Amino acid sequence: MSTVTERILQLKKEKNAVILAHNYTSSDIQDAADYVGDSLGLSIRAAESDADVIVFCGVSFMGETAKILSPEKTVLLPEPEARCAMASMCNAEQIRHARQKNPGAAVVGYVNSTAESKCGMDICCTSSNAVAVVNSLKQKDVIFAPDMNLGAYVASKTDKNIILWDGFCPVHQSITVRQVCALKEMHPGAKILAHPECRPEVLALADGIGSTEKMLAMAGEVDSEDVIILTEVGMRHRLEALHPLKRFHFPIQAVCMTMKMIELESVVNALETFSGEVVLDPNVLKGAYASVKRMIELRD
Ligand code: 13P
Ligand code: SF4
């Protein structure tokens, strides 16, 4: 065991801390974490944890969501500047405007959004329960923000009228049909699994679509040894551990640079100094709670 890992273990004990990491973080962070998962799984863990301190190895909206669910806990972001590019494509003012333009419509917010925008949303969702969340609403018209690709995917699975936002994840948006066809040509027998943040025309080529956690499960279920994985490359770590007899092929540019900012040393520093603590305005904490709480209650 490396010295830095030993130090993390010691600090976790001293501070009664738990380390949560998203599937896109680097492999050494995943190995140091108590739980690695998708956004829904992580939010549930954060809400249910009895630790005093949550070290959230992920982008800032993830730490904010943990704080909204457990305001009494200390939530630390080892790299507070690690932000999700998609989350910055929607703000509270734009949501107010969208509501005025579409009176009576419900607002469903992807969890990849800021805490301030969550205050204006009726209910949040993650990629794993987006369809269930939209179907749970009584309104026919639903504004879905900020991911237009996940919104279009949900629209294809419900009879609701989905009003799309114009946000997207640059990592998933960079994956093109041409690139998927080239991967398929290199691995003709491969099955294709895709994250719903991908473009609709890319999703049309997929054999399975789901959240990162769902993709990990589907990889074991598909009947091919080669599997093309259309999401962020950090997924390779768990895919290879869970399915050692399979070969996984990624679009090489699918790297979320902000997820990769988080290093073991920053986890040590956060635990030693409590730097990167998530502090939210009490009104924001209160305003965002209901929409996030509803999100974790709908588990598919
Ligand atoms: P999930 O892990 O919930 O599928 O989310 C993917 C993602 O982009 C997180 O930022
Ligand atoms: Fe945001 Fe995309 Fe990175 Fe996920 S992969 S954190 S959606 S920028």
**CA 103 distance to own-chain centroid:** 29
The answer to whether residues 163 and 180 belong to one domain is no
Which amino acid residue places its CA nearest to atom 5 of ligand 2? 256
In a shared domain, residues 19 and 92 = no
- 112 ligand 2 Cβ < 6 A: yes
Mean pLDDT calculated for residue range 106-123: 97
Token pair belonging to 77: 């972001």
The total of structural domains in the chain comes to: 3
Distance CA 162, CA 157 (A): 11
Q: Encode 57-79: b = buried (16+ Cβ within 10 Å), e = exposed.
A: bbbbbbbbbbbbbbeebbbbbbb
Residue 266 counted as domain residue: yes
Tell me, yes or no, whether 7 and 79 share the same domain: yes
Q: Are residues 143 and 290 in the same domain?
A: yes
| Residue in 228, 215, 223, 219 with CA at minimum distance from that of residue 185 | 228
pLDDT tens digits, one per residue of 189-201: 999 999 999 999 9
Q: What is the pLDDT of residue 300?
A: 62
Domain of residue 111: give its range: 87-168+284-297
Residue type at position 95: I
Distance 1 CA to ligand 2 centre (A): 31
pTM exceeds 0.95 for this model: yes
Order of all β-strands in the sheet with 226-230? 208-209, 191-194, 226-230, 247-249
pLDDT digits (tens, 9 = 90+) for 152-190: 999 999 999 999 999 999 999 999 999 999 999 999 999
Q: Residues 52, 198: one domain?
A: no
User: Residues 181, 232: one domain?
Assistant: yes
Nearest CA to ligand 1 atom 7: 39
